[in-house]
Structure 1
């Protein structure tokens, strides 16, 4: 691989993990009181829990799509958004965060090994590069919503 390719890989991995201009999900959630996870400030459609779960579900879908030709995506939008506003318990919260971390690591491993420009054989033109950029963009967008909610709650 070329030095330019290595630079692109490193920069996209940094973007996926939260760096430079983007905060990571873990940093955005640092110090969040458990009681604030299910709070929906006035006029906002989602709680922090619903945003975290949406990030988890969407990232899982993009990871599965990236390597499994038989993957069936959840029904949009119903199956991408949880109906419950708060996690049932601490274990559910931690499980969701762990799945996000583990699957991001899995995606990054796949990304580093892939021909990032080659269209996926089971898609309609998508490449692993497109999936990486989509994961990064989607997650960053919802992390910013989490920060806004935390600011409205007065705990950021």
Structure 2
């Protein structure tokens, strides 16, 4: 692995887990309970639950491409948003968080070990680095919305504080 590949991989890892500009993903989610996750604000088109399910869907879609598979593309991007506003149970909600964080860990492992300028078999014109960057930016965008909703609901900061560490 070249030095440039390794340095860019380290930068991708920081973006995937959250650093400097925002709280770490792993600190922003675990203390959210199912009730808060399903809460709907009239000014927002989706709940925290819907946001995280949407993030998980696209993260998994891109991870499958990174692993050389060809996931089925949805007929319409709106299908990546669940209709239900909240989870069925606390256990189901915790499983959604766990699955999402495991996907972040999987993306980190790829960023640390892959040849990042390799192209993808089923994603013409894209590289592993490009797709990892896409995961990081998509997650960061929606994590900001989750933080905003938490602030609106008076559920911010999480234990340990709401600033990057």
TM over 0.5, yes or no?
A: yes
Q: Gaps spanning 5+ residues in structure 2: where?
A: 157-165
**Residue-pair matches, total:** 156
After the TM superposition, list the runs of 4 or more consecutive aligned residues in structure 1 that deviate by more than 4 angstroms. none
Contact 2:33 2:93 in 1 (8 A): no
Deviates more, 1:79-88 or 1:22-31: 22-31
CA deviation after TM superposition for structure 1 residue 39, in Å: 1.1
Contact 1:87 1:93 in 2 (8 A): yes
Query: Secondary structure of the equivalent of 1:124?
Result: strand
Could you tell me which residue of structure 1 aligns to residue 59 of structure 2?
Answer: 59
Note closer, same or farther for the CA distance 1:75–1:68 as it changes in structure 2 (3 Å cut). Answer: farther
Looking at structure 1, the residues matched to 112 and 30 of structure 2 have their Cα atoms a distance apart, in angstroms, of 28
Note closer, same or farther for the CA distance 1:70–1:4 as it changes in structure 2 (3 Å cut). Answer: closer
Could you tell me which residue of structure 1 aligns to residue 151 of structure 2?
Answer: 151
Q: How does 1:101-140 map to 2 (within 5 A)?
A: 101-140=101-140
What is the alpha-carbon root mean square deviation over aligned residues? 1.7
TM-score normalised to structure 2 length: 0.85
Contact 1:61 1:74 in 2 (8 A): no
Looking at structure 2, the residues matched to 70 and 44 of structure 1 have their Cα atoms a distance apart, in angstroms, of 33
- The yes-or-no answer on 1:85 pairing with 2:92 is no
Q: How does 1:21-60 map to 2 (within 5 A)?
A: 21-60=21-60
> Which structure has more strand as a fraction of its residues?
2
